[in-house]
Amino acid sequence: MVDSHPRFLTELVLWAHCVDKFIPKENFAVVVYFVGDKQQSLGDWLSSKGISCKTTKPVVPGSPHSNKIAPFLDEYTTDYTIVVDVDLFFVRDPSNLFNSSGLRAAPNNHCNPPEWIYKEILTASGLNRPYRPGLALYRGQLGRRETHINNISAGIVGLPRSKSRSFACRWKQWAEWLVANRSILKEWAVHVDQVAFCLATEDIQEDVEFLPPQVNTILHSLGEISTVYAFHLTSGHIPNFPHLFNSDKTMNSSGFSQGVIEAIEMLNGCIVEAVRDMSSLPATRDHLVNFLNPQWIR
């Protein structure tokens, strides 16, 4: 999913390089959704890599993050529809992670939102569902990890064909409800998409089958793991890890396990090629300065 902000356009170039190199075309049909108009030069460049493009309108006005629901509302013939953020950069084929009929998503990263917000939301929703506890990967801004059992990171979401459209319709309805009742989210109001996903799971009374965090690897985890399927390099996290980013946009791999070092080296190869293409594409060349720049605060 690509919105109009320039940073998404630069991230898309790296994303496409990673998909082209590490996602097997015989297993995946790759589609980029542009919200609004697409940049023609970028669309042509994606086509040269065998990546299709579609345009869509905002799915839930007032919640840009909820645009990721759009592909699930379309009817694809694949076993799964998998939607990822454009700053999720694959270095390994994730096919073997999608081998069930469950709802798949990565676990929540930083306890957004915490348990007391979910308790209020569930009461207000009228679902008559109890709060059930789970754990986020890391502590949130209040120093706590407890959150709802079905709270996800929306960086990657996969729905099987049998459930995709029906679940997406409920996801959209709950996102619309949250936008209309946004005050209940307090300072976590930006997380309409993932909270609505959680409400949809409660609505159908089906729990998430969590994907391993390594398919949504955030910078905080690199020193704790040995395997990476995809790096989730968000512009919100990058400024907290300036020592990991070199002036040529590549990443510093020293000090990590051998598996992480190899994954960073694979990503760096794609970064070098992506920077070359960003410098020549009209849609991205003026925005390269902010790409993977730890000194840029979005």
**CATH number of the domain bearing residue 158:** 3.90.550.10
Query: What domain range includes position 178?
Result: 6-214
Q: Is residue 59 part of a domain?
A: yes
Cut 0.95: pTM above it: yes
pLDDT at position 3 is: 86
Q: What pLDDT, on the 0 to 100 scale, is given for residue 37? A: 85
Domain count within the chain: 1
Residues forming beta bridges with residue 104, ordered by sequence position: 158, 209
pLDDT band at residue 216 using 50, 70 and 90 as cut-offs: very high
In a domain, 254, yes or no: no
Residue 100, pLDDT above cutoff 80: yes
Q: 220 in a domain, yes or no?
A: no
Cα distances from 197 to residues 33, 67, 175, 178, 229, in angstroms, run 20, 13, 8, 11, 23
pLDDT at 297: 83
Does 18 map to a domain? Answer: yes
What is the rounded distance in angstroms from the CA atom of residue 9 to the CA atom of residue 38? 10
DSSP designation for 195: H
Q: What percent of the chain has pLDDT over 70?
A: 100
Q: How confident is the model at residue 79 (pLDDT cuts 50, 70, 90)?
A: very high
Quick check: is 79 in a domain?
A: yes
Residue 228 is assigned to a structural domain of this protein: no
pLDDT in tens, 166-201: 999 999 999 999 999 999 999 999 999 999 999 999
Is 274 within the bounds of a domain? no
Non-local (6+) Cβ contacts of 180 within 8 A are: none
**pLDDT of 34-75, one tens digit each?**
998 888 889 999 999 999 999 999 999 999 999 999 999 998
What's the rounded mean pLDDT across residues 209-213?
Answer: 98
Does the residue 16 lie in any domain? yes
